[in-house]
Structure 1
Amino acid sequence: MANIYPWGDSRRYNSYSNYFKREFGGRVQKLTIDAGFTCPNRDGSVGVGGCTYCNNDAFNPSYCTPQKSVLQQIEEGIEFHKVRYRRANQFLAYFQAYSNTYAPIERLRELYGQALSHPQVIGLVIGTRPDCVDEEKLDYLQELNEKFYIAIEYGVESCYNKTLEQINRGHTFEKSVWAIEQTHKRGIRVGAHVIFGLPGETREQMLAEAKILSELPLNTIKFHQLQIIKGTAMEKQYQSNPELFNLFGMEEYFNFLADFIERLNPNFVIERFTGEAPPRYLAVPPWGHLRTDKLMARFEKLLEERNTWQGKLFMET
């Protein structure tokens, strides 16, 4: 008989798909939206050039373009996902590209209101930076949260200020902690995005982030192996100084992840373990041609072989 883990099912980590089944009784699909936002480290208010690793085009679906209205992107997204996920009839509008709270609150009300006016949209997932929220915006999202599913995902990327400075992030880890705590205080679901393999970070430093992050009031978390994307400042850095980088091989990364999630708070829902960019955007060859579902099957097999699971060592760290 399969083990049942603290989150209530037999998977060896607290999975996003099963979280939605518990929350809504079935599949809920995210619809990615590009609403034309930018970032404060691009427009000069904090910095210029953006994060050194970033080329947002590498992660946007084909139907996403700011030239289309939010409602048009939602309609096209529903049609796009019908092919693969026929049973999905509830959707979350996922404001993904760049920093999706980086605008006056009147503009946010307009854009979020458009999304929530669609009859099949039951809530919002908002990707942003921790320095792009304030008390007023969080209070507004708290109001929406009383009627809809609202989640904010913050790009934390690293717990180390030296790394954040090197990648031109433009904010500190302390700012991430503030934003996460303020969001949680208002009852809004809050997530964090973390990149593994950033230049200068050792394996020991990355593993230590499990304890640091586990102490935060997070609901969800996303992990992403560093990929060198064409056309970025990091590509130039990699070409000039490849010795600064220690890019993970697939098996090495999965073993690292297993070590990491053993130490991770089991209450955190893990949304994603790997990043997936189209091969044409990659300056360094990808791990073969395996899609995310195949990669996850290999990772779960590794967890089984190691007889480990999320949070196994959590109380010991």
Structure 2
Amino acid sequence: MKNTKPYNEFGDFLKEIFPYKVQKISINAGFTCPNRDGLKGFGGCTYCNNQTFSPEYCHTEKSVTVQLEEGIRFFSRKYPGMKYLAYFQAYTNTYDETEILIRKYEEALSYPGVEGIIIGTRPDCMPDTLLEYFARLSTHKFVMIEYGVESTLDKTLLHINRGHTYSESEETIRRTAGMGIYTGVHLILGLPGESREEILHHADILSALPITTLKLHQLQLIRNTRMAKEYTEHPDLFHLYTVDEYIELVIDFIERLNPSIVVERFVSQSPKELLIAPDWGLKNFEFTAKVNKRIAERNTWQGRLISTIS
């Protein structure tokens, strides 16, 4: 194994780009989603409750500037020399008129200490005109586009009311990376109806794409979602992983993952008051420590099996 670490870590990726410490500041810019307003569907994806990724400083009624100000004030106490990345996170952050979108991005980029932007969006919401803007911007600012792919199986995407196909994800990922833009992917492990082998096969498929970063999320059942109702009615469709089961799953997953892909995280953490299950009682860093311990015990690493899988 060439690398000194068992997987390609996001912190190391940032250190290669920035000569100083950087922190993401989450922003809710007040956008909606084509899977909620009727363009693609109503009600959104079955697992989605956007309250799960909104920090306290991140509220729609606050401007982008105010959210950045409050978020930076929180982090700058401990790290006065830190710089920041504005993370447009909630809902679909490329879903509006281009002029409105760019105005909000530029508002964030003009804030002192903000060195770039990260845009969370859907693969079916990236028009060429906006992608061209990001390509121009990326020549002098850090730009990453994160796409919610969630699964490479169309049967799953249909089941969870995602509103797009996997081929749309692949096409948009290639289009984005082809313009020199850092390209991230979100994937949920454990969606209803997917077998363990199907979950691991996501790694094989994504390994062939020009992906910069990957965020893995364990399936979480969140209050006031259609998936929570589905679980009550059809629990047989679900497998909710224990901590140890999920650790083995993610390690098996990264063994099959292209070692050039940066693994940004293994889990997501929903607010306890919204979470139904699984409730592991672990913070993200605690879970990552367990993964690292188990990787050492298994003497394995990212991409170990990639040459043995057809």
Query: Which TM bucket (shorter chain)?
Result: over 0.9
Matched, 1:180 2:173: yes
In 2, distance between residues paired with 1:80 and 1:87?
11
Greater mean alpha carbon deviation, residues 148-157 or residues 15-24: 15-24
CA contact (8 A) 2:240 2:277 kept: no
Asked if the contact 1:17–1:27 (Cα under 8 Å) also holds between the matched residues in 2, the reply is no
| 1:4 CA drift (Å) | 5.5
Aligned counterparts of 1:283 and 1:177: Cα–Cα separation in 2? 32
Match of 2:14 in 1: 20
Deviations 1:116-158 (A, max 9, x none): 1012001000000001101111011111111100000000000
Q: Do the aligned partners of 2:203 and 2:253 also contact (CA within 8 Å) in 1? A: yes
Partners in 1 of 2:219 and 2:15 — Cα distance? 30
Q: Which residue of the partner structure matches residue 95 of structure 1?
A: 88
By how many angstroms is 1:79 displaced?
1.4
Alignment of 1:46 with 2:40, yes or no, is yes
Q: Tell me if the contact between 1:28 and 1:88 (Cα under 8 Å) persists in the aligned partners.
A: no
Q: Counterparts of 1:277 and 1:81 in 2: how far apart (Å)?
A: 21
Q: Aligned AA for 1:72?
A: V
1:218 aligns with 2:226: no
Pairing of 1:165-244 with structure 2 (within 5 A): 165-244=158-237
Inter-partner Cα distance in structure 2 for 1:55 and 1:88: 35
Gaps spanning 5+ residues in structure 1: where?
A: none
Cα distance in 1 for residues equivalent to 2:277 and 2:134: 39
SS of 1:150 mapped into structure 2: strand
- Kept in 1, the 8 Å contact 2:157–2:164? The answer is yes
**Structure 1 match to 2:254:** 261
Q: Which residue of 1 aligns with 2:284?
A: 292
Measure, in 2, the Cα distance between the counterparts of 1:161 and 1:53. Answer: 16
Three-state SS of the structure 2 residue aligned to 1:195 is: strand
State the partner residue of 2:63.
69
Unaligned runs of 5+ in 2: none
SS in 2 for 1:187: coil
Distance, in Å, in 2 between the alignment partners of 1:4 and 1:314 is 15
Cα distance, 1:52 vs structure 2: 0.2
Structure 1: how far apart are the matches of 2:81 and 2:34? 35
Q: What is the aligned partner in structure 2 of residue 310 from structure 1?
A: 302
Cα contact 1:20–1:26 (8 A) shared by 2 = no
Q: Deviations over 1:199-222 (max 9, x none)?
A: 000000011111100000100010
Q: Among 240, 255, 278, which residue is 1:247 paired with?
A: 240
SS in 1 for 2:57: coil
**Structure 2-normalised TM-score?**
0.97
| Aligned counterpart, 1:139 | 132
Instruction: Find the counterpart in structure 2 of residue 127 from structure 1.
Output: 120
SS of residue matched to 1:283 = strand
Deviation at 1:50, TM superposition (A): 0.1
4+ aligned runs moved over 3 Å, structure 1: none
Contact 1:29 1:88 in 2 (8 A): no
Q: CA deviation at 1:87?
A: 5.6
Paired residues of 2:242 and 2:278 also in contact (CA < 8 A)? no
* Superposed CA RMSD: 1.2
Contact residue 221 and residue 278 of structure 2 kept, 8 A: no
CA distance in 2, matches of 1:185, 1:193: 19
How many aligned positions are there? Answer: 309
1-structure distance, mates of 2:126, 2:193: 29
Secondary structure at 2:263 match in 1 = strand
So what's the TM-score if we normalise by structure 1? 0.95
